[in-house]
């Protein structure tokens, strides 16, 4: 399935999801943007749910590769979380990926096909697991302090970052993202 056309379809779908959400884009939108027929899209991705699952899997794979790199390259857990936040700040400021598509789709969860919802949940589990492990490492190195369990703090941190993305989008300002996430990082710093 992977090839230049499939990759272009995936990238276009990801951009449309980021801009509009699941329900507000169609194969006709993709066909126009990629300059191919809807039948060609169906050849690669028989249903919209198949397409969005593929987009989410690619998004999660990129995320996993990114967290492995952060973990290998940055020894300090707080600095690692700061780098994660700075990644999203750069994406929001640059407009290249202004919102985590898994977080965006989570808002639509009740109306999503089951297989898409499962992929959204997998992303949240992977992300919260990485944050939790990073927080636990910070506790063991005595570089972070937590008020609650690492699991609770990981869920809180993830929610704060995603909420800050939402506020930045609603207000049209990346400054709110920076302010909110800086406070979240300061809260766990020693």
Q: What is the structure's pLDDT at 17?
A: 94
Q: What is the structure's pLDDT at 2?
A: 58
Q: Which CATH number fits domain 47-188: 3.40.50.620, 3.90.320.10, 1.10.357.10, 1.10.3720.10?
A: 1.10.357.10
The pLDDT tens digits of the residues spanning 143-157 come to 999 999 999 999 999
Q: The dihedral of CA 45, 49, 52, 58: what is its sign? A: negative
Rounded-to-integer distance, Cα 6 and Cα 142, Å = 47
pLDDT value at 49 more than 60: yes
The pLDDT tens digits of the residues spanning 155-177 come to 999 999 999 999 999 999 999 99
| Domain boundary assignment for the chain | 47-188
Q: What is the structure's pLDDT at 1?
A: 43
């Amino acid at each position: 399935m992977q090839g230049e056309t499939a990759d272009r379809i995936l990238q276009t779908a990801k951009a449309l999801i980021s801009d509009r959400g699941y329900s507000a884009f169609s194969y006709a939108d993709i066909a126009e943007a990629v300059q191919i027929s809807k039948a060609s899209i169906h050849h690669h991705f028989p249903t919209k749910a198949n397409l969005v699952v593929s987009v989410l899997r690619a998004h999660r794979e990129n995320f996993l590769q990114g967290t492995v790199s952060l973990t290998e390259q940055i020894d300090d857990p707080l600095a690692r979380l700061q780098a994660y936040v700075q990644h999203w700040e750069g994406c929001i400021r640059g407009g290249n990926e202004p919102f985590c598509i898994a977080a965006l789709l989570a808002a639509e969860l009740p109306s999503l096909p089951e297989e898409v919802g499962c992929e959204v949940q997998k992303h949240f589990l992977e992300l919260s697991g990485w944050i939790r492990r990073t927080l636990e490492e910070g506790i063991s190195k005595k570089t972070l302090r937590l008020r609650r369990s690492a699991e609770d703090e990981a869920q809180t941190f993830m929610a704060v970052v995603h909420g800050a993305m939402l506020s930045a989008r609603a207000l049209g300002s990346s400054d709110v993202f920076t302010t909110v996430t800086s406070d979240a990082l300061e809260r766990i710093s020693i």
